[in-house]
A and B are shown apart, each in its own frame.
Chain A
Amino acid sequence: MTPAPLSQLRSALDAIVVGQQEAKAGLLLALLAREHAYLEGPPGCAKTLLAEGFAALTGGRTAAIRFHRDVGEADLLGDPVLQRRRTATGDRLAFGHDRGPLLLAEIAVLDDLSRAPGEALTPLLRVLDQRRLGEHPLPLEMAIATGCPPGADACIDPLEPTQLDRFAIQVRMHGALCSADARWARALLEWRSPEAIVPVLSAQVRGELQHTAAQLTIGDGVRAALLQLAQRVAAAVPTGMRGAITDRAFSRMALAVLRAHAMLRGAKRVERVDLAALRYMLGCRVPETVRERLESWIDEAMVEDQIAVSAVSVSVLDHGAPVGEDVGGTRVRPAAASGALPQVEGAVATGSSDRPAEVEPLLRALTGRIEHGRVEPGDDPGGQPRRYRRLRRLDEILDADALEAMLFVEGRLVGTPRTFQRRRRKMGGTLAVLRDVSASMEGRLSRCAGEIVGGLFHAGARQHMRIGYVEFNHRAEVFRASGRFFHRHYARLRPLAGARRAEGRTSYEAPLRAALDEFRGGPRGNRHVVLLTDGVPVLGDPTVARERALARDLGVRIHTVFVGDGECPAVLDTISRETDGGRFRASAGTGGRLRVRGRP
């Protein structure tokens, strides 16, 4: 039977939030395990209410931080402090940090965590994990973070798996309406906002519960089953996401959560049934496809029999779909299979010296746009000092003119001191190369396209860009490496430039949709698509209206290259103009060789 204080806590929670049983159970587990929890769900499904209500009920000292784009380290860990000390030789100004609310809290609520700038979070998450700042231990018992699912707001970069790993409990929440749960929705109509919340627990009770939970014994069978389950999950997760299945999660965190689960049952020791608690850990650690099978794996793990780990098919998951099967008009094939493609004589060399001169102007212009484009050097504290500007944040005083900083601190300066504006050219970025391989794309046209593709790979690699490659005719063939469309396995890309075939008809919609979908949720900034084609779209939407709008939304520039002597379809110009991409044409020049130039 559940210990009395915990059932009281649960019913008090039920009085505040209707439904959301899984999230509530997750929070109870986290509290007992002294681990952190992350609640992910669409807007308006009571994430914040639940987090803040729960924090108040525990009776702990709380800190609630609402995240937004500009939250910085100072807002979390404490205000910057300027200290001035008089010494025998003169005055000294030193810079330090105050102890902020997060460092004093027992139960912290980190609301809308996914809105914080991805990397500014790193110091915070480190503090959460270590529960100390420098040598100072923190009183923190648990942090409850909330966030929106990736893709819910295009302005937000999703949290990285490595950041999410600090949260042992990870639960996905859904609304009553979208779950089509009429009874739950009906009950919500009766909901009234809670009045003052009276704490149910106290520091002493929490401490005793947590201590008792930590003492529960875990038998051999449970340990073995845990390990097997962990291996099974790890094997099923695509390589790119393996980072989420960490030793830390499945040793320290999992054992604490299992103990908490046994404690909630009122049991004296951890048993196999407690493995059910693992579902509360895996909400955001594994992709949808794995989560669907998780329940049955956990059920199997709770049975005494041995589990056959080898039954998991990794290859299918690795590529998102069975190899070679049609998925919504997009054929998926791993890049590794590229060796099987027909190789035509004189494979394209990517070294610049071997490249015919005719392609050079295009590559220069394109790489120019890719490397510089309109992606100006951005402000970056690690950049080169360019000029002075006024100080905007107090910690910039370290980089400010020393004399003015001194006068500023003494209140003798009108305004703020000057500080360096540091700027730096951003490297990286994302490039998708879409190559037409329809029937008309043969002979010199195809060779020309191959040279352009090879040159683009080379330029992208030099910029450390993540590159994706699609060949298309009436449908798109997406190449992947290690299960990823955008990747930096340049060695695997290079042979693709030389591979060529010519069959089928042309659709612009299929390749653009396939490539643009891959940009969703990824890092924004410096995103490019290069569309190489020799024909007019005869299949799919010839105006690609939806894809143009999507490209604008995603901030992707589409550069178009028309190869051949015919008339360039007007839609290519529209695509590039609307997305601020470059427009090029490769056509026969003197001596029948192809020349590449900008389209007027």
Chain B
Amino acid sequence: MSDALGRLRELLDRHVVGHAEAKEALLLGLLCREHIYLEGPPGTAKTRMAEVAARGSSMAFFYYQLHRDTRLAELVGDVVIERRPLDGAPGERIHQRIEPGGILTAEVCVLDDISRAPGEALNVLLRILNERKFGDRPIPLLCAIATGNPMHEEYYNEPLDPANLDRFALHLRVDSLIGTHAAEARTLIDRFAEGLVVEQPDAPPVCDRQTLDRLFAALPTITLPDAVKDALMEVFRVLVGEYGCDETNSILTDRSFLVKAVKLLRGRALIAGRSVVEPPDLDLLRWMTTFRVPEEVHEKVPEILQRVIGKASPM
């Protein structure tokens, strides 16, 4: 594993129990500069993971809990009204502008309960996330981690539009440890019982922005062999041909599955310290199909991937 990312992973493991998949996705998001959507019940360390990763790589971190009355200004900085004398002429100019803050200055941000935000704030927010620009200025953001509650628990909020979800390359479901991972839940209890948990982990940086920039620049050098390309195509052939995914029921965009997926595959190889993508890396596609294909098809995705990976891997 790449040194810096390996240290970051160790740091995450030290401060957060369990959630191996989410941690791996988080590293991928940071490295490949893709956004992540985490869906899961409250109290499952979603925010903590993001915060540890941000502090551990000495990057500017921004946390915001969205709510029904969220105004755009709260996300992008302070609204300032300025009054200036006119040059040479009598009179004044009244000018309203935004002093950048929030997601405009952050490198890692957590947007908690994203589906609660009202349409206007959400649309602008997602646009900024997608373009990584505000007005004409590029923003330093590497990775935004949005969280939401599972669909059936969305009691008061409207579910997030699938088209909006497409802005987040990776979609993961995070489960509570008590319900699903007994051994890890026990570890968590042990840590609290022994007073090992720090509420505000002040993680010493083990990585920095320059390192991540360098790794990002190295992504295109990772080889994507024809066998993996063929396997990728095979996955889409199965989804479209055998499971009837099309424009009406799925969001199989070229941007997500032909551009972002390739970048993420390279990132995965890089994290593993390889210079070549291997068929098993395709496994990450299941983090991309969660909300992009019908639920019943997504349930089959691990099976499809296993089959395709098995065929593509050399004996």
Contacts and interface: CB of A to CB of B under 8 A. Distances in A.
A22 to B, nearest CB: 24
Interface in B128-181: 149-153, 155-159, 176-179
B59 to A, nearest CB: 16
A243 B69 CA distance: 24
Interface residues of A, number: 71
Contacts of B44: 246-248
A321 interface: no
Contacts of A522: 155
B84 interface: yes
A306 B294 CA distance: 42
B194 to A, nearest CB: 8
Interface string B25-52: 0000000000000000111110000000
Interface stretch (B5-13, B117-125, B202-210): B117-125
Interface stretch (B185-193, B224-232, B259-267, B307-315): B185-193
A491 B176 contact: no
Contact of A93 (B81, B182, B296): B81
Contacts of B84: 89-90
A61 interface: no
A381 B118 contact: yes
B249 to A, nearest CB: 10
A344 B117 CA distance: 45
B71 A398 contact: yes
A231 B197 CA distance: 22
Nearest to A122: B67
A406 interface: yes
B192 A255 contact: yes
Contacts of A119: 67-69, 116, 156-157
Interface in A59-80: 73
B80 interface: yes
Contacts, number: 179
Contact of A383 (B79, B118, B197): B118
B68 to A, nearest CB: 4
Given A382-B120, A398-B73, A406 B176 contact: no
Contacts of B200: 132
A223 B73 contact: no
Interface in B75-91: 78-85
Interface stretch (B92-100, B276-284, B285-293): B92-100
A92 B94 CA distance: 10
A504 interface: no
B113 interface: yes
Contact of A89 (B73, B82, B122): B82
Interface stretch (A362-370, A422-430, A533-541): A422-430
B156 A118 contact: yes
A360 interface: no
A484 B152 contact: yes
B189 A226 contact: yes
A491 B294 contact: yes
B67 A223 contact: no
A402 to B, nearest CB: 5
B119 A381 contact: no
Contacts of B153: 161-162, 240, 243
Given A90-B85, A161-B153, 18 more contacts: A90-B93, A93-B82, A94-B78, A95-B78, A119-B67, A122-B65, A165-B43, A231-B185, A234-B178, A246-B176, A247-B178, A247-B185, A382-B119, A383-B119, A383-B120, A424-B118, A424-B120, A484-B152
10 contacts: A94-B79, A95-B79, A118-B156, A215-B195, A227-B178, A243-B150, A246-B176, A251-B188, A428-B158, A489-B152
Interface of B: 41-45, 65, 67-71, 73, 78-85, 92-96, 99, 112-113, 116-122, 149-153, 155-159, 176-179, 182, 185-186, 188-193, 195, 197, 200, 294-296
Per CB-CB distance, the 3 closest pairs between chain A and chain B, nearest first, are A382-B118, A246-B43, A248-B43
